[in-house]
Amino acid sequence: MSLIISIDAMGGDFGIAVTVPASLECLKSNPELKLILVGDSALLKQQLGESIPVYGERLTIHHASQCVEMHESPSKALKNKKDSSMRVAINLVHEGLADACVSAGNTGALMATARFVLKMIPGIGRPGIISTLPSIYGHTHVLDLGANVDCTAEHLFEFAVMGNELVKAVENIENPRIGLLNIGEEDVKGNEQVKKAAKLLENSTLNYIGFVEGNSLNAGNIKVDLIVCDGFVGNVALKSIEGAAKMIGTLLKESFSKNIFTKLAGFVAYPVLKLFKDRIDPRLYNGASFLGLKGLVIKSHGGADALAFKTAIQLAELEVKHNVIKKISEQVEISLAQRKSA
């Protein structure tokens, strides 16, 4: 089986300074992996240096003359940047020359380009963005995280069908426990879309466990494998959690910096605090998958460092290995047939 991933080497806040070392780390840790680094070939050759002969045909440079800016409008990028590293990296997936693409570039442009080049899986109304969050049970998969602001019940149902296949594949579990994000667990709670989506999920073959509240993302009373929501709510929840973690980190640091005694206590506690911090290190959760497209695209955080970008590439490896796109396409077809006949 092939495992070829195209990298938008120029994307993200730091471009090749991050994408190149992360790529080399991934090549080192997985001998089956082949990478195609897309971007300015002169710059890439310079940055790669002696690594080029080391990895031989496992490491290819593919020249692209343009670069999508981080705040460029998706429509402009689509129209004017036909030779951008982002666009070319996605083209490689479309042409079957790569099995997945990873980019830390502008989310809107990446989604618009991916949708334009790769096209949607028939039967899916909208693509969704799925990622994972740490939880007291390990971690939780969540979608949608920002692609769609006004979702219908059908969209939410499709997110559940697609997310279910992804979670089954990458977690190697039979029946992921799926929750629908709501403002209460009782049937009467929530808006119309959520209530209708609940009915669709109840009547499906999915392992739907009911409504869950925001706390279930990190620390609910029971383990949930996949939480489904619209992109507005998902994005706000994700960023709220980021803010809470940042506040707690800031205040914790302040508490240990107060005076000589607290600093001493901090010195003693440092190894433990370090271990704790590593457990919820957001870099180990970097990488969001676009679902609903006919090819695999992984979005890395724009501000990712090499460790974080490596995590995103490794997520792509995992999804390629488990044939996620093929499984989703097949399941979407089955689900649509079931719903039509119901």
CB of 145 to a second copy, least distance (A): 9
CB of 77 to a second copy, least distance (A): 14
CB of 82 to a second copy, least distance (A): 23
CB of 151 to a second copy, least distance (A): 10
Residue with Cβ nearer a second copy (42 or 136) = 136
CB of 183 to a second copy, least distance (A): 4
CB of 114 to a second copy, least distance (A): 19
**8 A C-beta contact, residue 132 and residue 139:** yes
| Residues near a second copy, by CB under 8 A | 73, 134-136, 146, 149-150, 181, 183, 188, 190-192, 213-220, 229, 231-233, 235-248, 250-252, 254-256, 258, 262, 264-266, 268-269, 271-273, 275-276, 279-280
Residue with Cβ nearer a second copy (113 or 218) = 218
Alpha-helical segments (H) within 203-305: 216-219, 231-256, 260-279
Residue with Cβ nearer a second copy (253 or 326) = 253
CB of 106 to a second copy, least distance (A): 12
Residue with Cβ nearer a second copy (150 or 330) = 150
Residue with Cβ nearer a second copy (134 or 163) = 134
Count CB atoms within 10 A of the CB of residue 94: 17
CB of 213 to a second copy, least distance (A): 5
For residues 57 and 61, give the distance between their C-alpha atoms in angstroms, rounded to a whole number: 10
Sign of CA dihedral 131, 299, 26, 92: positive
**What residues are paired with 82 via a beta bridge?**
none
Residue labelled with tokens 């709510």: 233
Residue labelled with tokens 């899916």: 124
Q: What does the CA dihedral 188, 191, 193, 198 come to, rounded to 10 degrees? A: -30
Residue with Cβ nearer a second copy (108 or 295) = 108
Residue with Cβ nearer a second copy (12 or 220) = 220
Pair type for strands 208-212 and 178-181: parallel
Residue with Cβ nearer a second copy (105 or 231) = 231
Secondary structure class of 292 (helix, strand, coil): coil
Residue with Cβ nearer a second copy (49 or 138) = 138
Calculate the alpha carbon distances from 152 to 149, 193, 194, 339 in Å. Answer: 10, 6, 8, 16
For residues 63 and 41, give the distance between their C-alpha atoms in angstroms, rounded to a whole number: 5
At 22, the amino acid letter reads A
CB of 150 to a second copy, least distance (A): 5
For residues 170 and 302, give the distance between their C-alpha atoms in angstroms, rounded to a whole number: 24
Alpha-helical segments (H) within the chain: 16-29, 41-48, 51-55, 74-80, 85-94, 107-118, 153-171, 192-202, 216-219, 231-256, 260-279, 306-321, 324-341
**8 A C-beta contact, residue 200 and residue 157:** yes
